[in-house]
Amino acid sequence: MKQNLVLRLLGVGCLVCHGAAVASDRNLIQTLYHADFVADADDDVPRFSLDGELGVLAATGNTHATSLKAGITSEQETYNWSNSYFAELLYKESEVSQDDKVSREKTAQRFFGYAQFDYKLNYPGRRLFMYADYENDSFNGYDYRASLAAGYSQRLWRNEESEFRYSIGPGYSFIAPEADTVTSANDGMMLRASAEYRYRWPSGARFRQFVSTETGANNTRSRSETSVAANLFGSFALKVSVILNHETDPADEVASLNTETSIALVYQFF
């Protein structure tokens, strides 16, 4: 009888040890791949959004000019990732008088796009990010500029009304100056930091403030985007935005501060 009791106790002990080992293995797996098992309660996952905007301005009379601005914004939320995508195109033609002759000339042409991928860590709101952008502007003294960065990002809070997040990390800038352009900026290491605040009113109107800076050895580029969007009807909204781009050491004969103010119609596809 004592022998049977000992065998039963040994059996129970083996089951407990086996259960503890399984739990330990599962905890390890959850630590490495937590999003496969536990969804972040603060995230609506999975989800995907896609917004397109278009703004056209035609001026006649004392000033003849035509401006076109188009953009697309997308956000993707999964159990493991929080991704953002953005691309915009700006084009402008204006009448120019020279030697008593009036002609239309291109006065602005720019393409800018970026993508940021945030990998969610096993702590609410904390992530590791990877960032890439590309800019082709015919009037900034460069054939193109691009940058890559990676580091740490965090969403400090998100509720029904507002949200705030930031990111910071090292990166590398790729710069191709135009021929005969005098500039001290060149390829090299840089430090990138960004912050974003969003607010949503009960009416559905939205406010967004985004700032970023890239600091290198010879130049610091900063960008600020302020926008307010109000719902019109259905999936349409009206968006007013102000964009500031600043450089501490711009290319020769290029202003250090450039501003853009636009009114655009936004359509939410998803």
pTM of the full structure = 0.79
Confidence check: pLDDT of 22 > 80: no
Residue 152: CB atoms within 10 Å: 14
Cβ-Cβ contacts under 8 Å for 153 (sequence gap 6 or more) = 118, 126, 127, 128, 129, 165, 166, 167, 168
Which top CATH class is 41-268?
Answer: mainly beta
Structure-block tokens of residue 226:
């302020």
How many angstroms separate the first and last alpha carbons of the chain?
Answer: 70
142-190: pLDDT as tens digits: 889 999 999 999 999 999 999 999 999 999 999 888 877 666 667 899 9
Confidence check: pLDDT of 33 > 50: no
123-152: pLDDT as tens digits: 989 999 999 999 998 888 888 999 999 999
pLDDT at 62: 60
3-state helix, strand, coil in the chain (%, to 5): 15, 65, 25
* Distance (Å, whole) CA 29 – CA 102: 70
111-121: pLDDT as tens digits: 999 999 999 99
Whose tokens are 């250090």? That residue is 256
Alpha-carbon dihedral of residues 230, 233, 234, 237, nearest 10 degrees? -30
215-224: pLDDT as tens digits: 998 889 999 9
Average pLDDT over residues 254-266: 91
